[in-house]
Amino acid sequence: MTPPTMIKQKISVQKGFTLIEAVMVITITGIIASMVAVFIASPVKGYFDSARRAELSDTADTAIRRISRDVHLALPNSVRIASPQVMEFLQTRTGGRYRTDGIDGLDFTNPTDTTFDVLGPAVTLIAGDQIVIYNLGIPGADAYVGNNRRAYNGAGGSVTNVPIISTSAFPLDSPGHRFQVVDTPVTYICDIPAGTLTRYWGYTIVDPQPNPPSGGNNALLAKNVSNCTFTYTQGVTERSGLVSIQLAITQDNETVNLYHAVQVSNVP
């Protein structure tokens, strides 16, 4: 058995931290933590800045790529700019060549000719399609006005004979005997005060251009838009055009600017 004197001796030998020592440890730890934070803060801030720039660039690039894909499908001579922030065009879905002779060729002198045969492979049509021939975008051959546009009058599916609703003959014969099938008008609108870029489609073809279109559908492509302009330049030979798109997106005092040009085929 341990004598009482030995127990007292063992207890007196054990020690802990004093208040001063604890304060000193806390102070030193705080200083070290502050120094580490200074070295870490810059890389962390750089990471978040880089991630934000990548997100802004991705948003702008995705929006411009979507616009480019649509513009490539624009009906020849249908791109029109209502303002630097509003662009509209008629989007084609398919097309083909029509017969001008034979049993059911398209007669440009007969206002009651409501069917024509397709040369080559059958084309796939759906209800609501519009048939356009030789759109020049000028008076007398303007698909927006409708003098060279007729509504498809058949069931959906692949057809080699196209029925149309017509009370007047098509004004001009295409030199290549080509026809285009218009799916829907498409409008892109940049609302700078609201900071949005929106796509509109599925509304009725009207002239002049509505802004914004009534009816149809719309989808938001980008937010935080600080600048956006559309320009359209007619080609020298009028067989092509150039749509220029400039888009800027700003977030947390950082701006990403993208510029893209899309060539448009205007051969009807």
- Quick: pLDDT tens for 159-192: 999 999 999 999 999 999 999 999 999 999 999 9
pLDDT band at 17 (very low <50, low <70, confident <90, very high): low
Q: Is residue 22 part of a domain?
A: no
Would you state the pLDDT for residue 26? 80
Residue 227 pLDDT: 95
> Where would I find the H helices in the chain?
4-13, 19-72
Q: What is the pLDDT of residue 16?
A: 62
Q: CA 162 to CA 182: how far, in whole Å?
A: 14
Q: How many domains does the chain have?
A: 1
Task: Report the C-alpha gap between 177 and 7 in whole angstroms.
Answer: 114
> Is 32 inside any structural domain?
no
The 10s digit of each residue's pLDDT in 232-262 is 998 655 678 999 999 999 988 889 999 999 9
Per-residue pLDDT of 210-237, as tens digits, reads 889 989 999 999 999 999 999 999 865 5
CA distances (Å), origin 73, targets 89, 160, 199, 202: 9, 23, 15, 15
- pTM comes to 0.81
Only one residue has tokens 């927006």, namely 144
What is the Cα–Cα distance from 211 to 224, expressed in whole angstroms?
21
> 101 in a domain, yes or no?
yes
Distances (CA, A) of 60 to 6, 66, 143: 81, 10, 31
- pLDDT tens profile 100-125: 988 899 999 999 899 999 999 999 99
pLDDT of residue 50: 72
| DSSP calls for 76-144 | TT--EEEETTEEEEEEEEEEEEE--SSTT---TT-TT--EEEEESS-EEE-TT-EEE-S--SBTTB-TT
- Give the domain range for residue 171: 59-265
Mean pLDDT of 131-144: 94
In a domain, 44, yes or no: no
46 occurs within a structural domain? no
Rounded distance between C-alpha atoms, residue 228 and residue 245, angstroms: 7
Whether 215 is in a domain gets the answer yes
What is the overall mean pLDDT for the chain?
Answer: 87
d(CA 226, CA 191): 9
Give the mean pLDDT of 82-97: 95
Does a structural domain hold residue 233?
yes
